[in-house]
Amino acid sequence: MKAILRNLTVVAIMFATVASFAKGPETTFGGKVNEVEKNLMAVKLDPIFKKKGNKLFMNLLNLDQQDVTIKVYDSEGRVVFKEILEGELVIEKAFNFENAFENDYTVVVVDNQKSFKETVVVK
């Protein structure tokens, strides 16, 4: 009888330990958020601009797959390039200003009512 009681106690302790580990951290509904969930919620979806000499590279993650308009303006406000991309998830563009006239060019990206810009100076 003592052996059964002892084994039952050990099994109960083991079950309680395993159950506490299996529960893990509470989800966002319970109030606590683990680090991975924090990082996923903090993702910014702004375009990334990178300059290399007279070249400009732009990457945009378009999760909602809405239309994205890309325009390039010169310093006098004239549109020298325009493109509308429809329903694309990942947008990658490269702008080569190596043979462009001396000027200040502004690349404008409009995504879901937000506007982003980057300027390239060609000398």
What tens digit of pLDDT does each residue of 76-111 get? 999 999 999 999 999 999 999 999 999 999 999 998
Which of residues 57 and 113 earns the better pLDDT score? 57
| pLDDT over 70 at 70, yes or no | yes
Class of 45-122 per CATH?
A: mainly beta
**Token pair 């506007």: residue:** 115
Contacts of 19 (CB under 8 A, 6+ apart): none
Kindly report the pTM of this predicted structure: 0.64
* pLDDT score for 11: 67
* pLDDT score for 101: 94
- Domain ranges across the chain: 2-39, 45-122
| pLDDT over 80 at 42, yes or no | no
3-state secondary structure the chain: CHHHHHHHHHHHHHHHHHHHHHHCCCCCCCCCCCHHHHHHHCCCCCCEEEEECCEEEEEEECCCCCCEEEEEECCCCCEEEEEEECCCCEEEEEEECCCCCCEEEEEEEEECCEEEEEEEEEC
